[in-house]
Amino acid sequence: MKRILPKMMSDEEAESLLSADLSEYLTPENFQANFTPVSFEFPAHEETISIQLSPELLDAVKVASAKRGIGDQKFILALIEWAVRQDSTSFPI
């Protein structure tokens, strides 16, 4: 059965929920409905770059970033950070 966490409008509501058994919200079928991945960017980005993209690629970036609920630039930055962390032998270029 799909269980969605209730919206909480006060600290008291949140505290009362925490005293309950929350395991039903953590099942695989309920987890994605209740929790969203979040990333935190702490260091300031002081440098800028400019790139030219084809209209088709930019449209694909916009669609992909919208699916994840983030902005285009944040999506591109996340992809660059991911690529830099990868093993250089597995990079397609």
Given a cut of 80, whether residue 75 has pLDDT beyond it is: yes
Domain locations in the chain as residue ranges: 1-35, 39-93
Nearest CA-CA partner of 65 in 79, 54, 52, 49 = 79
Given a cut of 90, whether residue 86 has pLDDT beyond it is: no
Classify residue 19 by its DSSP letter.
Answer: T
Confidence band of 54 (pLDDT split at 50, 70, 90): very high
Does 63 or 27 have the greater pLDDT score?
Answer: 63
Lowest-confidence pick of 62-66, 76-80, 87-91: 87-91
Confidence band of 50 (pLDDT split at 50, 70, 90): very high
